[in-house]
């Protein structure tokens, strides 16, 4: 059977802030396809609570934002990339406001209104512009509403990318990316999307861990596909664990925004005593890696299931006004955060490493761009500073769109083989997928989590190699499904994380190992090269 084929100027894989920004910034005469694994709005952007870090206040400065980012990144940020990003922060906010995004405002002493800026961990100033505690939802709605006016963008919901297609893979000269094979979840058939340029904006890989604040779509698809196609990846050992996720059996890792600590919330032990001042002079406003390690240490020391975040000392009206969604969700679960502390635990939150790109989002493969959490730009270093992620998405998506416009839209009419499923059958052993899925996420949590050791990492490496072999055999013999695609990608990403962690013989930022507790004198990125391209 012939594979159904589509042809576009640009294929965007992913529909979060990075993907939508790229689509909006490209000329309207370009034909664009945007692939969404689920609904168009489903993704990490939609669930982001905090905000966008930007230099907007007269008492703040670009140099201060740059320095805070460099400090949080523990010596591994690329200073030129940090400056490139921060210098464009106000421009990004202005663009969002022009799109109709409604950020919170407050009345000034002189009666005028200005944007309410909050302060989060690692920041020396109030510079996080937000929409209550649902900034991601507000930005998603603003971007998606404007996208509906762009008739050149066709949105494909419930389409899951399987693999990229490059010229060398089909026996042609060159390495350029020319499209992707994509599974239509409604028909369960693979379709071919040809494109002159491909943009990966699939988000991170936090679903590789047992506990995560991310939605189910965060399975590292873009990173895994780019790696298989021949792209380098870097700094995959730096997985940010958000310190404060709601601990409740029905919460499904509901994130409790860092903004609570920015507005004065305290972290407490079960007996009600504060502990963060013992770990860092910035206490609750220390960078996320320090706070997460402190919580992990106290939970293990005391053998407790969680610690607590308390903002109940603030006025009730203040709490409900600033954090309406957190208040509502906790109340649904029987907790009134205006009266009692919130039980919390750390959870995997952000992938600081990813596919190596330049400031245009361009990868090692011509015509292939990666933007947002899937990318490694050098911005975050060994630890992402709070609310720099949405900023990164929009800055680099804008840059990628500008770079694409500078290229010639040349059609190379190579014959691309049909997707061949003639040798595979329907599986009667899907239990393999669910079992391996659970095993992977549990040993990644236990062995490659907040605190690591050589022994734990080697155990994880042995297990992931066995699982990769099992999943590879399964993938070769049975028809693919969304779960199988995600599991295959998670296996790949887990292996990249473990390899990177083994190579780093120090503790820096988000990578903390009991075997190498000191910093090396010279900070160096961990760069992995696909075996067949090394």
- Tell me, yes or no, whether 130 and 258 share the same domain: no
Domain total of the chain: 3
The pLDDT, as a whole number, for residue 428 is 63
The pLDDT, as a whole number, for residue 414 is 79
Contact 308, 291 (CB under 8 A): no
- Residue 104, H or E segment: none
Structure tokens at 438: 């659970």
How does DSSP classify residue 40? T
Residue 423: inside a domain: no
Residue 253: inside a domain: yes
Residue 424: inside a domain: no
- Tell me, yes or no, whether 290 and 344 share the same domain: yes
Which positions ≥6 away from 249 have C-beta within 8 Å? none
Active site residue 488: no
Residue 411: inside a domain: no
CA distances 327 to 249, 284, 341, Å, are 17, 20, 12
Bridge partner residues of 107 (DSSP): 113
Q: How far apart are CA 220 and CA 218, in angstroms?
A: 6
For residue 38, count other CB atoms closer than 10 A to its CB. Answer: 17
Residue 183: inside a domain: yes
The pLDDT, as a whole number, for residue 311 is 97
The pLDDT, as a whole number, for residue 215 is 81
- Tell me, yes or no, whether 335 and 481 share the same domain: no
Structure tokens at 296: 């992990």
Q: How far apart are CA 71 and CA 65, in angstroms?
A: 10
List the one residue out of 354, 307, 314, 284 whose CA is nearest residue 500.
354
Classified as helix, coil or strand, 401 is helix
- Tell me, yes or no, whether 87 and 109 share the same domain: yes
The pLDDT, as a whole number, for residue 12 is 98
Residue 533: inside a domain: no
- Tell me, yes or no, whether 160 and 263 share the same domain: no
Question: Which of 232, 288, 441, 461 does the annotation list as catalytic?
Answer: 288
- Tell me, yes or no, whether 220 and 254 share the same domain: no
- Tell me, yes or no, whether 290 and 221 share the same domain: no
CATH number at residue 57: 3.50.50.60
Residue 510: inside a domain: yes
254-257 long-range CB contacts below 8 Å, 24 or more apart?
254/213, 254/329, 255/47, 255/49, 255/213, 255/347, 255/349, 256/309, 256/326, 256/342, 256/344, 257/49, 257/50, 257/133, 257/323, 257/326
- Tell me, yes or no, whether 365 and 488 share the same domain: no
pLDDT means over runs of 10, the chain (534 residues): 89 95 96 90 66 90 96 96 97 94 85 84 89 84 91 96 94 92 95 96 94 86 97 97 88 83 95 96 88 89 93 96 93 96 93 97 97 97 92 97 89 81 69 89 92 95 95 87 94 98 96 95 96 70
Residue 372: inside a domain: yes
Bridge partner residues of 516 (DSSP): 513
Domain with 300, as residue range(s), is 243-349
The pLDDT, as a whole number, for residue 431 is 82
- Tell me, yes or no, whether 378 and 455 share the same domain: no
Which positions ≥6 away from 335 have C-beta within 8 Å? 248, 342, 343
The pLDDT, as a whole number, for residue 412 is 67
- Tell me, yes or no, whether 73 and 170 share the same domain: yes
CATH number at residue 267: 3.90.700.10
Structure tokens at 452: 């690591």
- Tell me, yes or no, whether 40 and 140 share the same domain: yes
- Tell me, yes or no, whether 370 and 444 share the same domain: no
CA distances 12 to 4, 68, 159, 362, 439, Å, are 18, 32, 12, 14, 32
Give the end-to-end CA distance of the chain in Å, rounded to a whole number.
Answer: 37
Q: Where are the beta strands (DSSP E) in 71-204?
A: 105-107, 113-115, 117-118, 128-129, 153-157, 159-166, 177-184, 189-200
The pLDDT, as a whole number, for residue 287 is 81
CATH number at residue 463: 1.20.58.100
């Amino acid at each position: 059977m012939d594979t159904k084929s589509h042809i576009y100027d640009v294929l965007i894989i992913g529909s979060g802030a990075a993907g939508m920004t790229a689509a909006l910034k490209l000329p309207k005469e370009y034909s664009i396809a945007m692939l969404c694994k689920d609904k168009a709005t489903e993704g990490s952007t939609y669930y982001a609570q905090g905000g966008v870090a930007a230099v907007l206040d007269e008492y703040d400065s670009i140099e201060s934002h740059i320095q805070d980012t460099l400090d949080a990144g523990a010596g591994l940020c690329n200073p030129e990339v940090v400056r490139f990003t921060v210098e464009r922060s106000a421009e990004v906010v202005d663009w969002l406001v022009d799109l109709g995004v409604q950020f919170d405002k407050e009345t000034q002493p002189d009666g005028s209104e200005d944007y309410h800026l909050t302060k989060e961990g690692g920041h020396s100033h109030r510079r996080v512009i937000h929409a209550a505690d649902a900034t991601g939802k507000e930005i998603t709605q603003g971007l998606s509403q404007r996208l509906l006016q762009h008739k050149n963008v066709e949105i494909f919901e419930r389409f899951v990318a399987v693999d990229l297609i490059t010229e060398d893979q089909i026996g042609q000269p060159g390495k350029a990316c020319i499209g992707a094979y994509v599974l239509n979840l409604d028909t369960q058939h693979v379709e071919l999307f040809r494109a002159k340029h491909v943009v990966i904006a699939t988000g991170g890989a936090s679903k590789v861990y047992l506990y995560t604040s991310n939605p189910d779509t965060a399975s590292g698809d873009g990173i895994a596909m780019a790696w298989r196609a021949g792209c380098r990846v870097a700094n995959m050992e730096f997985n940010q664990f958000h310190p404060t996720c709601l601990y409740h059996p029905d919460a499904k890792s509901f994130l409790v925004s860092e903004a609570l600590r920015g507005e004065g919330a305290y972290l407490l032990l079960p007996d009600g005593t504060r502990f963060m001042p013992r770990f860092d002079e910035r206490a609750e406003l220390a960078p996320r890696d320090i706070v997460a390690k402190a919580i992990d240490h106290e939970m293990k020391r005391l053998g407790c299931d969680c610690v607590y975040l308390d903002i109940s000392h603030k006025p009730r009206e203040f709490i409900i006004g600033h954090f309406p969604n957190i208040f509502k969700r906790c109340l649904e679960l029987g907790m009134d955060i205006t009266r009692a502390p919130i039980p919390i635990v750390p959870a995997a939150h952000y992938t600081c490493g990813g596919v190596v790109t330049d400031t245009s989002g361009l990868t090692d493969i011509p015509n292939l761009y990666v933007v947002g959490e899937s990318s490694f730009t050098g911005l975050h270093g060994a630890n992402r500073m709070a609310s720099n992620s949405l900023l990164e998405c929009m800055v680099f998506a804008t840059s990628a769109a500008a770079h694409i416009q500078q290229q010639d839209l040349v059609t190379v009419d190579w014959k691309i083989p049909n997707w061949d499923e003639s040798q595979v059958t329907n599986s009667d052993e899907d239990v393999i997928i669910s079992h391996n899925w659970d095993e992977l996420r549990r040993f990644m949590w236990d062995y490659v989590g907040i605190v690591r050791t050589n022994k734990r990492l080697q155990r994880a490496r042995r297990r992931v190699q066995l699982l990769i072999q099992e999943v590879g055999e399964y993938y070769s013999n049975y028809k693919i499904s969304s779960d199988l695609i995600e599991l295959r990608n998670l296996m790949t990403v887990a292996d990249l994380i473990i390899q990177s962690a083994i190579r780093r013989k120090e503790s820096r930022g988000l990578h903390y190992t009991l075997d190498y507790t000191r910093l090396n004198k010279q900070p160096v990125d961990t760069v992995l090269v696909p075996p067949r391209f090394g």
